[in-house]
Each structure stands twice: as C-alpha cells, then as structure tokens.
Amino acid sequence: MGEWIQSVRDAFGHSAEFFKEAWQEIKKVHWPTRKETYAATSVVLIVVLIIGLFLALVDFGLTRAIQALVS
C-alpha cells in the first residue's frame, strides 16, 4: 500500500511541475493585438479567395478541354 501512495504523490508532484512550467511558457508568448489579428485574418481570406478563383478557372478550363476532346 505504501508504494501505491508514493506513486500517487509522485504523479501529483510531476503534474504540478508540468503546470508550473507550462504557465511560465505561456507568460513568454507574444499574444497578438486585435489589430494584428484582423490584419492576419484579412491576408488569409484574400489568399484563400485568390487560390480558390485560380483553381476554379483551371477546373473550368480543363473541363472544357476534356469535353472538346471527347465530343
């Protein structure tokens, strides 16, 4: 029974150390401002739209080309 209690104490000790170190790392993180978040989101949306339009045009072109070859 003594070993079991010691293993539980060790587990709690390791867990406490993990959370302490994790909290220290979280405090080092540079959290973006609202303005930075909006700017990054805008860039992502614009790039997604551009790539989506490009892929739609390629798909349309390939569909037409294959239909012309088959017909």
pLDDT at 10: 73
pLDDT at 2: 64
DSSP code for 30? -
* C-alpha torsion sign, points 59, 64, 69, 71: positive
The string of pLDDT tens digits covering residues 15-27 is: 888 899 999 999 9
Q: pTM of the prediction?
A: 0.60
Mean pLDDT of the chain: 91
Contact in structure between 25 and 17 (CB atoms under 8 Å) = no
Band (pLDDT 50/70/90 cuts) for residue 9 is: confident
Residue ranges with strand state E in the chain: none
The string of pLDDT tens digits covering residues 25-48 is: 999 999 999 999 999 999 999 999
Q: Is 58 helix (H, G, I), strand (E, B) or coil?
A: helix
